[in-house]
Chain A
């Protein structure tokens, strides 16, 4: 009979959180993996390294072995027989390495699991336990902390952000030749409140310009909040439920404060998923406003004729990278294709694509975890080869985290492509009347 080890206070808290989350869904997925291993090649980590550690079933195992130890009869009596394990320093260390350093929570494995285990859901639950144990990798934790402390994950001071918007507004006026063109800030009662990934004002202001130009062309009634505009929610990646709730609540309150009709989520895969799909559960209520992604909005602008595009303005071959959280985790699958096919003359798909697309390697908070930088870039080789095979000169993707990763892959694997957001490609094709 296996006696349970003495637990530290943190370990007790982690197990208490685990028990607290034990609803029907979690219990079901914890009991369903049969260790068949057929999920192996659905994971880009395993494809790259051919190491059993990265088989999705082993990621599930990080949590299920703890579950069996503390929640099943045989796990309590004969732990070795059923592969149950104590929560101790050794198992926690391995858990950190596998669920943070060896998984981007892309969800491709869940789609192809022979039983149907929701593997990223279990990985996220394991990450939540690691929050209780204070074992979140430093880079990821500091990103969450920055968002909580300053209102955006890059800790951009409000004055700096306002300055950036002001000069982008001047640029917009020059570009469209209209002195009334604007990037409205903190305006109340607008139809749309637009969010941004803080990487945009910090590193990619042209993507804000692109979207401002599209809004101008569509004669949209919109605004940006200078207090609360961050579409990202890295607490979703770290598994920190409290921080995730707080970030969602702030955005919810800002939409209410500005009395906007629709919250439009910028090109950010995990942000779109976190706010649209996970957020209402975190704050325990349905949103009293509409939520949509900018990709859906722009596709609707094109379909309804609110903007006109000339694909001849984009003649280079364009391919599309599907962000996991937007596509597999959010169901936004065709709209970005619709937009790109109207905005360029030569669009090609990657293989595989849509819900079967491979993660670029930057998801799951990997971009903020310097500890696993080498793995992130090496697993990105799968994506790099996908891109190379298309012969494309431009890779478009509606996600700023993916953009960052693809830029690094472009450099490391010498792909010789331009990386753009979908809205940037659309803005390049705009016909201003």
Chain B
């Protein structure tokens, strides 16, 4: 293994360790004592939280900001796609050239979506007010990671640089706003549980109250 391989491995190890620490922190007091009598099902609420509640049909914020919603969706899709290629490149698994080329174009497009979100954050006054350097840096880091993955797919000479870039990303995730990636599943679970127990989400409407 090359030095970049070892750097990436070490950074990934630090990321896993920090993520486990965060998960342990949540798990240590995951359940809030709540003896109120349920009106609906927490489980149904959690399921809905990850499904229907995420749909633009139900999520007004997505409908009202459809271009941003789509850019965000594609950008995040690109993150997972780039991670998949990172694993492949780490183990030196190469696909036929046509696939790597297509993948590079796809990652270029997803990175452009991320860059568009970054530009929006810079240009729009309301978003600038909400933002701190971490917001810009985090966005830039993930865009950079996707661009580097695309570059490494087209030109294997960039693979070492990709590993170092990915290592930096792994180190930064638990520290800055990118840690939302670790917390996201629990956020949806807590919200789903809250609305589900109260019968707001996941409950069948109408029934005996149909007129």
Contact = CB atoms under 8 A, between A and B. Distances in A.
Interface stretch (A199-207, A330-338, A389-397): A330-338
Interface string A330-369: 1101110110011000000000100110000000000000
A343 to B, nearest CB: 11
A53 to B, nearest CB: 8
B200 A328 contact: yes
A63 to B, nearest CB: 14
A27 interface: yes
Contacts of B26: 24, 27-28
B169 to A, nearest CB: 15
B168 to A, nearest CB: 15
Contact of A333 (B30, B129, B200): B200
A38 B184 CA distance: 16
Given A24-B27, A35-B135, A329-B198, A116 B49 contact: yes
B52 to A, nearest CB: 12
B126 A114 contact: no
A406 B198 CA distance: 26
A111 B60 CA distance: 9
Interface stretch (B86-94, B101-109, B171-179): B171-179
Contacts of A333: 199-200, 205
B210 to A, nearest CB: 8
Contacts of A287: 37
Interface in B2-49: 25-37, 39-40, 49
B206 A58 contact: no
B36 A281 contact: yes
Contacts, number: 181
B208 interface: yes
A340 B170 CA distance: 57
A40 interface: yes
B68 A38 contact: yes
B140 interface: no
Interface residues of B, number: 64
B119 interface: no
Contacts of A52: 125-126, 129-130
A388 interface: no
B175 A334 contact: no
Contact of A35 (B64, B177, B183, B203): B177
Contacts of A373: none
A249 B154 CA distance: 68
Nearest to A117: B187
Interface in A10-64: 22-25, 27-29, 31-42, 52, 55, 57-58, 61
B132 interface: yes
Interface stretch (A80-88, A135-143, A374-382, A417-425): A80-88
Interface stretch (B77-85, B143-151, B159-167, B188-196): B188-196
A388 B208 CA distance: 31
B126 A37 contact: yes
Given A112-B61, A276-B36, A34 B177 contact: yes
Looking at chain B's contact residues, the main secondary structure is: helix
Contacts of A29: 187, 190
B133 interface: yes
B126 A280 contact: no
A37 B120 CA distance: 11
Contacts of B176: 74, 82
A179 interface: no
A284 B35 CA distance: 8
A38 B175 contact: no
Which of the listed residues B34, B179, B191 has the most CB atoms from chain A within 10 Å of its own CB? B191
Interface in A110-127: 110-118
Nearest to A32: B187
Contacts of B62: 38, 112, 114
Contacts of A74: 134, 175-176
Nearest to B124: A37
Given A24-B27, A28-B183, A34-B177, A81 B134 contact: yes
B190 A28 contact: yes
A279 interface: yes
B31 A331 contact: no
Nearest to A275: B36
13 contacts: A31-B183, A34-B135, A38-B64, A40-B61, A52-B129, A82-B133, A111-B53, A114-B61, A115-B184, A116-B53, A116-B190, A299-B209, A329-B200
List of 6 A-B pairs having minimum Cβ-Cβ separation, nearest first:
A83-B132, A331-B199, A286-B35, A334-B209, A24-B30, A23-B29
